[in-house]
Amino acid sequence: MQPVRGSDRQASGRLAVLGIAALWIGSVVQAAPAQSCLFNDAHFHLTNYVQQGTALPKYVGDIMGDKVCRSTVFGIPLQQTWSYENSGEFAPTYYLQSDAPLYYYSFTDAYIANAYLKLAPESRQRLDPMITGFNPADMYGVDHIRRVLETYPGVFSGIGEFTIHKEFVSSKVAGDIASLTDPALDRILDFAGEVGLAVIIHSDMDMPFAKAGAEPVFLKQMKDLLRRHPKTTIIWAHIGLGRVVHPVQGQAATGTTERNPAYREVVEGMLRDPTLSHVYFDISWDEVAKYAVASPESIRNTVELFNRYPDRFLFGTDNVAPPDQATQLRVYHLWDPIWEQLTPEAALKIRISNFERIFDKARADVRAWERANLK
């Protein structure tokens, strides 16, 4: 699918931005009036940690509505066990609400595919479903992904969000703990590259509550992993930040208990590195937005970074089963202080056109692989 639109350089103001969105909308998707279309959502969970969520027709019709042009869609692969021994009659719906383990709930992919296939074609055009129900610490994990493509051809554009290191979550997962150095993960990323599946990976850059003055623990492992898969399009979710893994401003961050390589330098180093040119960052999660707009300095830093590397960031909400459109738009508006200061070109790319470029290509590549490899 090739959206009709001018080059991003032509965007010289908000009206131009909207005009481009209007052209694209007019050519591909009839459903959303372009004037009000704010963004494409590169990171969206339809269901929560107990596989409950928003009905997909409601998501497209009422929640995306005329404000979100396109969206990824995935569940959460990890199911929180309701252990009566642990929480009794209290039914946990979030990983922080119980000590009981999480386990991989692979049926999530069938659930997402079935919901997608029931939609009208014009609604499907607006969605990029993602495969998540595999265990990245299992050498057989890749076989699940292939099996999902075989069972539901014509549906999926990528894999993820799946998680390697995440505060409090990693240690709750039943079975082996996932690792950036696990060959099972290399098999998955190799296969994603072969098929053309876009990848959204969550892995905190550092340990929670790490001490100041040292390299983030998982950063080198992550860069090594990314470099081993140059043919795979990989989106590092939340720019490697986590709930308790904060960005810090180098030596200026006195009194912090965090490690302090200047976070912006870490990210900029990766953006400049030609061996990492296949890597993108999503800026989803309200926790990330809070860091970015925390102070005039953080806003300035973020604006400079985005304006310098506008092709490498994608906006996403990281909402989980939102009940209404207001909830869906709240994360977007947390970024308003930054949207207002970006160049129109950078804002357009991060909100809309990087998503189009990456996911249009993923869709086309995966469909081509399916035609060539599935009978």
**# residues contacting Zn ion (CB under 5 A):** 2
Residue nearest to Zn ion (CB): 318
Give the torsion sign (CA, 332, 45, 1, 311): positive
Give the CA distances from residue 2 to residues 49, 72, 99, 313, 364, in Å, rounded to whole numbers and listed in that order.
35, 18, 48, 21, 10
Interaction pattern, residues 231-250, with Zn ion; x per rule: CB under 5 A = --------------------
What's the rounded Cα separation, in Å, for the pair 357 and 374? 25
- For the bound state, the minimum distance from the C-beta of residue 371 to Zn ion, rounded and expressed in Å, comes to 31
Nearer to Zn ion, 318 or 370 (CB): 318
Nearer to Zn ion, 109 or 318 (CB): 318
Q: Which stretch binds Zn ion (CB under 5 A): 84-92, 121-129, 153-161, 213-221?
A: 153-161
Q: Identify the residue among 318, 356, 365, 370 touching Zn ion (CB under 5 A).
A: 318
**Ordered alpha helix ranges (H), the chain:** 14-28, 56-58, 84-87, 107-117, 121-124, 141-151, 183-195, 219-227, 263-272, 286-292, 296-308, 325-334, 336-339, 344-348, 354-373
Tokens 């985005």 label which residue? Answer: 306
Strand partners, 198: 158
The full length of the chain comes to 375
Q: Whose Cβ is closer to Zn ion: residue 161's or residue 182's?
A: 161
Question: In terms of CB distance, is 206 or 318 closer to Zn ion?
Answer: 318
Least distance from C-beta 162 to Zn ion, angstroms? 10
Residue 56 beta carbon to Zn ion: minimum distance, rounded to whole angstroms: 17
Residue closer to Zn ion (CB basis): 161 or 206: 161
User: Taking the complex as a whole, how short is the minimal distance between the CB of residue 201 and Zn ion, in angstroms?
Assistant: 11
Which residue number, 161 or 258, has a Cβ lying nearer to Zn ion? 161
When the beta carbons of 166 and 259 are compared against Zn ion, the nearer one is: 166
Q: How far is the CB of 370 from Zn ion (least distance, A)?
A: 26
- Could you tell me the strand order of the sheet in which 39-41 lies? 39-41, 68-73, 127-131, 158-163, 198-202, 234-236, 279-282, 313-314
Place of tokens 């469909």: 367
- How many Å is the maximal CA-CA distance in the chain? 61
CA–CA separation, 176 vs 112, rounded Å?
Answer: 26
Question: Cβ of residue 41: shortest distance to Zn ion, in angstroms?
Answer: 11
Stretch that binds Zn ion, among 53-61, 137-145, 159-167, 306-314 (CB under 5 A): 159-167
Binding of residue 161 to Zn ion (CB under 5 A): yes
User: How far apart are CB 153 and Zn ion at their closest, in Å?
Assistant: 26
- When asked if residue 41 is in the footprint of Zn ion (CB under 5 A), the reply is no
**Pairing between strand 39-41 and 313-314?**
unpaired
180-209 residues near Zn ion, rule: CB under 5 A: none
Identify which range of 89-97, 243-251, 286-294, 312-320 contacts Zn ion by CB under 5 A. Answer: 312-320
Question: Is residue 365 near Zn ion by the rule CB under 5 A?
Answer: no
CB of 314 to Zn ion, least distance (A): 13
Q: Report which of 253, 252, 317, 258 is spatially closest to residue 289, judged by C-alpha positions.
A: 317
* Rounded CA separation 154/314 (Å): 24
CB proximity list for 362: less than 8 A, separation 6 or greater? 128, 157, 158, 196, 197, 198, 233
Q: Which stretch binds Zn ion (CB under 5 A): 29-37, 61-69, 154-162, 286-294?
A: 154-162
Please report, as a single letter, which amino acid is at residue 256. T
44 vs 263 by CB, closer to Zn ion: 44
Structure tokens at 208: 């929670």
In single-letter form, the type of residue at position 187 comes to R
Please say which residue, 1 or 96, places its beta carbon nearer to Zn ion. Answer: 96
Please report, as residue ranges, which positions from 277 to 296 form the binding site for Zn ion (by CB under 5 A): none
Kindly tell me which of 8 and 161 has the beta carbon lying closer to Zn ion.
161
User: Which residues are at the interface with Zn ion (CB under 5 A)?
Assistant: 161, 318
